[in-house]
Amino acid sequence: MRPNRPIYLDHHATTPLDPRVAAAMRPWWEENFANPHSVEHAMGREAEAAVEGAREHVAALIGAEGREIIFTSGATEANNLAIKGAARFAGAEGKRRVITLATEHKCVLESVKSLASEGFEPVILPVQSDGLLDLAVLEAALRVPTVLVSVMAVNNEIGVTQDLAAIGVLVRAAGAAFHIDAAQAPGRVALDVHAVQADLVSLTAHKMYGPKGVGALYVRRRPRMRLAPLFSGGGQERGLRSGTLPAPLLVGMGEAARIAASEGLLDAGRIAGQRDRFFNALSAEIEGLQLNGHATARVAGNLNLSFPGRVDAQALMRAAPGLCVSTGSACSSAEIEPSYVLAALGIPQGQARATLRMGFGRFTSPAEADQAALLLVAAWRQVVAQSQAAD
């Protein structure tokens, strides 16, 4: 580790590459670069075998079969393919409703909303003040014939986990398809596609210590989930995702999935320890710190904290340059608008502006957790003193 390296507490935006994943990928960049679809020659067949091995690891992570996994460029593409693909295949003549939650990732919300122009009826359900969906609200929405319901496994800002099994029962009973954006789940919570009756599940490698630019969509075979593809092309991935498969990235995703499946729960226990250590140190010094989102239905590494004293989160971050944290999701943190996820929880704008998101990860050490708390307490005191001086 280089000295004065920033402390990285932004694991919901992306995770570092696990060194084991980097090692698994290396030969597929440097030695065998063949196209995995070039099965006429030995190098191509070898690459194909590596890709199929990776597919099995990704499937095993969620209790699926290899042939139910479609590789994509990430979770954004997987979510677009799931939502638009399912709606377009079904057509807007029959079931027209497409349901999701106000706290979903932008790519889900925008995919659902875009279907309005194709004759569908987007329905964005509210969540409760703890971030959880009220099942009665979903049940009521499902009384109108519905094509698809999309609910995320783990929220990328507040870390809240929805009751997917209970949601799956309602969705299946209503005859709709159930899509889960599980980008934040691997290594944090166990997810079994059969236990939750999911028809479609989106994954991305870079949130599970794998490479950026690769993801997957689980597409159930029994009963068979039908999709219209987004791309025209050579018909790879059972016609659902044309384009040459990036073998090195897929091998990396496979290795990341293998590690997440075998070590995820160990990780979660250790990560919860670092997070609690940090949170206890912080709350001992800062009275009135508020945790947003459900206190226990949340993943181990997440904290979404509102600071007292009318501090501005941007000012806090400037006062602690050695800390990598965020004011919201990575996608919207460049915008000035406070988080729409916090707004959906009914959190006032003033409080949302004083809020930081932290995500602890596999390689966060106890020393880093302690140091991060010290840096943040000092930053908070400095910003409070500045704003009092300005009064």
Both tokens of 71, joined, read 């590789």
| Options 57-65, 118-126, 176-184, 216-224: segment touching ligand PLP (CB under 6 A) | 176-184
331 is catalytic: yes
In contact, 360 and 9? CB cutoff 8 Å: yes
Nearer to ligand PLP by Cβ, of 210 and 338: the residue is 210
In contact, 293 and 158? CB cutoff 8 Å: yes
Among 331, 367, 374, 385, the active-site one is 331
Nearer to ligand PLP by Cβ, of 154 and 259: the residue is 154
> CA of 358: how far to CAs of 100, 229, 304, 369, in Å?
25, 36, 6, 11
In the chain the first and final C-alpha atoms are separated, in Å, by: 42
101 binds ligand PLP (CB under 6 A): no
Residues constituting the chain: 391
**75-90 vs 106-114: helix crossing angle, rounded to 10:** 20
Number of residues that bind ligand PLP (CB under 6 A): 13
Pick from 188, 207, 298, 353: which binds ligand PLP (CB under 6 A)?
207
100 binds ligand PLP (CB under 6 A): no
Structure letter (DSSP) for residue 298: B
For Cα atoms 81, 85, 88, give the angle at the middle one, nearest 5 degrees. Answer: 155
Residue 207 has, within 13 A of its CA and on its CB side, a CA count of 25
> How far, in whole angstroms, is CA 39 from its chain's centroid?
34
215 binds ligand PLP (CB under 6 A): yes
Q: Tell me the residue nearest to ligand PLP as measured from the CB.
A: 74
Pick from 17, 25, 55, 74: which binds ligand PLP (CB under 6 A)?
74
Pick from 15, 146, 150, 156: which binds ligand PLP (CB under 6 A)?
156
In contact, 313 and 347? CB cutoff 8 Å: no
Nearer to ligand PLP by Cβ, of 271 and 383: the residue is 271
CB of 197 to ligand PLP, least distance (A): 20
CB of 213 to ligand PLP, least distance (A): 8
- Tell me the Ramachandran region of residue 159: left when phi exceeds 0, alpha when psi lies from -120 to 50, beta otherwise: left
Both tokens of 145, joined, read 């014939």
Which of the residues 78 through 97 are near ligand PLP (CB under 6 A)? none
111 binds ligand PLP (CB under 6 A): no
d(CA 373, CA 369): 6
Pattern of binders to ligand PLP over 226-265, x per CB under 6 A?
----------------------------------------
**Is the bond leading into 122 cis (omega within 30 degrees of zero)?**
no
149 binds ligand PLP (CB under 6 A): no
- Tell me the Ramachandran region of residue 222: left when phi exceeds 0, alpha when psi lies from -120 to 50, beta otherwise: beta
204 binds ligand PLP (CB under 6 A): yes
Nearer to ligand PLP by Cβ, of 206 and 353: the residue is 206
157 binds ligand PLP (CB under 6 A): no
Catalytic residues: 331
List interacting residues with ligand PLP (CB under 6 A): 74-76, 105, 107, 152, 156, 181, 183-184, 204, 207, 215
